[in-house]
A and B are shown apart, each in its own frame.
Chain A
Amino acid sequence: MSDVLYDLDYIPILRALSDQAFDTKQWFDLGAAANELSLTDGFDRLLSLEDLSIQLFEHQRKAVLRVLREMRGRAVLADEVGLGKTIEAGVILREYMVRGLVSRVLILVPALLVNQWRNELQEKFRIHAAVAVAPSDWQRHDVIVASLDRAKRSPHAANVLAKAWDLVIVDEAHHLKDRASKNWQLVNGLKKKYLLLLTATPVQNDLRELYNLITLLKPGHLMTYSEFCREFTIDRHSPKNLKLLRQRLDEVMVRTSRRETLLRFPKRRIHSWSAALRGAERRFYNRLVDVLRAAYQQAPKRERNILPFILILRAASSLPQAAVRTLHSMTRRGTLPGVDTEHVSELAEMATELIPAKFTLCRRLLREDLRGENVIVYTNFRSTLRRLGDALEDLGKEVHRFHGGLSDAEKASVIDRFRRHGGVLISTETGSEGMNLQFCRCLINYDLPWNPLRLEQRIGRIHRLGQENDVRIDNLAAEGTVEGYILYLLERKIAMFDQVIGELESILGNFAGSFEQRVVQAFLAADDFETTRRHMERLGQELKAAVQMYGRQRSFVQQLFQPIDV
């Protein structure tokens, strides 16, 4: 016996009847036609599709409909990287919300992607999601984006598990491959009606991972683990009975390969420029590095906090004056033991009147190579943005400044002006997420973001499905600086710019620790150029191993799914 519920909205209608407050018959007939048009019969159509600012590609539309109609909201979205799994999940979420089948939603993602998810939900799907920070947030909000790491920690875990969720989405779901891990235990313990697991690599090299993932989704779909092993595996790395296994997987997994979609991705033309530090600028940088290395090395290993060093070195690569200001405020607050005010005064004196070599390089690029093009220039600092903006205006370029200090309306207006008038858009990291700028095809990374995923996000603003031209990326880095080494590692060791969109994430997943922290640690732990070079080479080898591991994982997945793709 089912519940029959009544909408309270009948009261104003009956009141209108009693007050003789009638509308015309024409509007009444229109209302009747509207009611008929708005009826939904199961998932016969995607209600939200044309209302959104995005358009689905055919493979995405099919995936969404399969999940809604056949898999009934419990599925692994395992499209190859760059084919828009996030969009598919967003549309599924909205379809459920529009139909009133879902209201409490939990989206668990790696910490790095929390803001990106929140922004995409807001901008593309008009779904306001809250980011869970405090333990009380889980009960306070209906749609929550949170990092999986936070959710599984105490005291958050108890709150997450206490709430009944209508839909749970887990991005990068290969983090759930280990049944004994806290990640798996958390998602397994959640009360949920619908569950979407997003991963391009549902299995990396062990079939048990695949079993664990599917068991989260539909316990028993691949039987018990012993039965699964008997039926489908020769050993943990070699499947058997492939036809039946693929059939079973096909019932809970959507996987589209790039080949199937026939989508054309624009080419990326990468130009990396090394700005040689000369004279006063070189002297300033070397002195700063000496001071920082001394401070870093003299701190006891357990008490070393790498973050202030990262901040100063990043600022030094961008604008020496900014680095001095940061150093000054940190010394005053005592964040950087081992650096005293004398060092700061000395460095401040050295930085006065310095014009960074990257400044000159950027101006030359805009004046010569990119003349007549609309260009986006990314920097990490607002002070650099201001100085660079003034310098480029002197070149006669129309400059649009985009940074976190602007209100939403101002931001929209800056982008609109840039779209209409062209010129140069200088943006801080604020503009690297969520915006679609594919009307522009040139991008200069004046400062490289030291996290490679952020770099990919920046490039993703112009290099995305829908871009009609090949895109040009210019990376500027000062020679012999941390930034220079980062560019070297990304280009030579990971071949980052040759990777398919989204692959970098999987590669770095195989790399232990945070990329930027490891690079800076290696840089500060060295005493001279030769040691630095050796440290970087060692990191490079690790990165290469991560790339190779990813290659192996990819071929394993391909072996498992290939015939389905065909």
Chain B
Amino acid sequence: MTEPEKVEHFVLTFFAATGCRVQRRDRVWIAHLPEHMAKAFGVDERLVFTFQPEQASSNVEVLTRGHRLVDVMVQYAQQRGRSCNVIYLGSQWNEIVRQAAASDPWQMGYRPAVPRLVRMVETLRSLRFVNARQRIIQRRVLYQRQALFRFRVAFCADEKREMLYSVLADPSTETIDSVVDIGGGVAMPAVWRGKNEASQRVQTKFFPTPPFGRRKNFMSREASWQAGEAALRQGNAYVWLRLYRKACEYLENHMLTEKLRFEAEAAARLAAEKNRLDAYYRGLAAETVDPLRRVFSRMAAAEMRMGWGGERGTWETRLERLRAEAVRLRHQHVDELENLAAERERRLEELLDRYRVKTEISLVQVSLIHVPRIAWNLRLTGPSRREVTVLYDIIRERILEPLCDACENMLTGNALLSCCGDVVCQSCGKACPTCGESVGATAPREVGG
């Protein structure tokens, strides 16, 4: 998307969301804003605008980033759309999930037409219990909650660079998962449900723009977490706080490359400035010796003249005077050097302050995502009998369960059932984790159920 296209998409969606009537005439748009909104945004109720600078005229405004109206809309949208609850439903996902849940992917004759299901079959068939027969005894669709945190990260030194990061965390395992595109999801529930009516009123009311947006309140990670702990003690808010912390920890590692790059750039600029400053003060320090040097040469000259004889007394007096002058200048030189050192120190501090890199992290949005997963309960029959659940994430197209009972890694490839009912991966399969007996691929493998 080009820049004007991005703005156009945003502005038109915004007008649609706020119920404004927008018409298009040639390349010019006309919007009719509700009175309260026009008043809050400080614009006329009838707006004629375009997104292409070449279409602008005295009565057609160009809406670009930085335009007052766009800025107000951006601020409003940032304050308003900060949390939502998304489920993967809708015509496309309904059908895929339904077909997946009804399927028996290990049955050799099963050949789905949908590419996503083809990939699912391939993935699931790669997991093979080589010493047991398997039979499906139950199939289910589970919607599991995950939290998508969106962060705005700002690197600040003598300039500022911002970027957005998304981190998806799983509340059940408290681990970070790969981010999914929530474009295909729908909101659940579809309506705004504030805690009370008052909070709804506040959130849905148009607010006047503060001069420079909201004043941020930044503090160290620990301090902000402590403040969060104090504020989110009640109910299940603490669960989300823990998850948020996990997300923050992950984010700090994830953004490290970008941060290091920014720090390196700032450090290079700082080094250049420091070099200039050092050269300057070195030069100044060298120059402070000049008066002393001059006196020394005059002293040398006086001593020489004294050696030649003649008016010895006159030269002795002059030499005495020069010696006294040299002592005074030496003290002065020491003072000057001290002053220069202090000034250099102050300038250096100024520079360090200017180029000190700060990383500011703000949570800007959070979304609960209900991710569909298909679960097949399999009964395994081999050296022993055991039921296992194979859990498949259809969005990310990967197996989540079962885990190896010995090493607790994901079971992939060839798996084994031990005499004591443990399922183990091939590398753990030399001995049963319970009794230590050797687990061999002795039983015939049966596919399907």
Q: Which residues of A contact B (CB under 8 A)?
A: 2-11, 13-43, 45-51, 68, 72-73, 97-101, 126-127, 164, 191-194, 218-221, 223-224, 226-227
Contacts and interface: CB of A to CB of B under 8 A. Distances in A.
Given A7-B218, A35-B150, A221-B276, 8 more contacts: A7-B362, A17-B366, A22-B84, A24-B191, A31-B80, A33-B9, A38-B78, A219-B347
B221 A6 contact: yes
B353 interface: yes
B280 A21 contact: no
B81 interface: yes
B350 A26 contact: no
Contacts of B359: 2-5
Contacts of B156: 99-101
Interface stretch (B61-69, B135-143, B394-402): B61-69
Interface stretch (B119-127, B234-242, B329-337): B234-242
A3 B82 CA distance: 26
Contact of B214 (A9, A24, A72): A9
19 contacts: A3-B356, A3-B358, A6-B219, A7-B360, A7-B361, A14-B241, A18-B235, A21-B193, A22-B192, A22-B368, A23-B84, A23-B192, A34-B10, A34-B78, A37-B6, A38-B74, A40-B161, A50-B67, A97-B212
Contacts of B214: 9
A33 B192 CA distance: 19
A16 B349 CA distance: 43
A41 B361 contact: no
Which interface residue of A15, A37, A45, A46 has the most chain B CB atoms within 10 A?
Answer: A37
A29 B81 contact: yes
A177 to B, nearest CB: 20
A19 B195 contact: yes
Q: How large is the interface on B (under 10, 10 to 19, 20 to 34, 35 or more residues)?
A: 35 or more
Interface stretch (B29-37, B182-190, B317-325): B182-190
Interface string B186-218: 110111111100010001000000011010111
Which interface residue of A98, A100, A191 has the most chain B CB atoms within 10 A?
Answer: A100
A9 B217 contact: yes
B311 interface: no
B65 A45 contact: yes
Given A21-B193, A22-B189, A47-B66, A33 B162 contact: no
Given A32-B150, A50-B64, A100-B216, A23 B362 contact: no
A5 B77 contact: no
Nearest to B185: A25
A215 B193 CA distance: 61
Interface in B276-319: 276-277, 279-281, 283-284, 287
B169 to A, nearest CB: 12
Given A11-B227, A23-B81, A192-B350, A33 B66 contact: no
A38 B10 CA distance: 12
A23 B78 CA distance: 12
A33 B77 contact: yes
Given A28-B81, A40-B160, A227 B195 contact: no
Contacts of B195: 19, 21
Contacts of B186: 25
A72 to B, nearest CB: 5
Given A16-B83, A20-B193, A25-B187, A35 B363 contact: no
Nearest to A4: B359
A16 B82 contact: yes
A229 to B, nearest CB: 11
B144 interface: no
B71 interface: yes
Contacts of A41: 161-162
Nearest to A38: B74
Contacts of A191: 346, 349-350
A227 B366 CA distance: 60
Nearest to B200: A21
A26 to B, nearest CB: 5
A82 B339 CA distance: 41
B232 A99 contact: no
B6 A36 contact: yes
Contact of A35 (B9, B78, B240, B248): B78
Contacts of B227: 8, 11
Contacts of B85: 20, 22
A167 to B, nearest CB: 11
Contacts of A68: 159
B50 to A, nearest CB: 14
B17 interface: yes
Contact of B199 (A21, A31, A45): A21
A274 to B, nearest CB: 43
Given A33-B6, A73-B158, A218-B276, A27 B194 contact: no
A221 B273 CA distance: 9
Nearest to B218: A5
Interface string B43-70: 0000000000000000000001111101
A39 B224 contact: no
B414 interface: no
Contact of B218 (A6, A47, A72, A193): A6
B163 interface: yes
B83 A224 contact: no
A20 B85 CA distance: 8
Contact of B363 (A10, A21, A28, A43): A10
Nearest to A36: B164
A101 B360 CA distance: 12
Nearest to B83: A16
Interface string B152-173: 1010101111111000000000
Contacts of A45: 65-66
Contacts of B235: 18-19
B244 interface: yes
A52 B167 CA distance: 36
A48 to B, nearest CB: 8
A31 B79 CA distance: 8
B220 interface: yes
A4 B13 contact: no
Given A42-B161, A224-B280, A23 B211 contact: no
Contact of A72 (B68, B162, B241, B269): B269
Nearest to B223: A6
Given A25-B84, A27-B77, A33-B77, A9 B362 contact: yes
Contacts of A48: 66
B77 A14 contact: no
B425 to A, nearest CB: 37
Contact of A22 (B187, B239, B277): B187
A51 B75 CA distance: 13
Contacts of A2: 259, 263, 356-359
Nearest to A94: B212
A99 B367 contact: no
A23 B193 CA distance: 7
Contacts of A73: 158
A449 to B, nearest CB: 33
B228 interface: yes
B10 A98 contact: no
Which interface residue of B78, B81, B353 has the most chain A CB atoms within 10 A?
Answer: B81
Nearest to B77: A34
Given A17-B147, A33-B13, A191-B350, A6 B366 contact: no
B406 interface: no
Contacts of B83: 13, 16-17, 21-23, 28
Nearest to B216: A7
Given A18-B232, A22-B189, A30-B13, A42 B159 contact: yes
Nearest to B65: A37
A506 B161 CA distance: 40
Contacts of A7: 216-218, 224, 360-363
B73 interface: yes
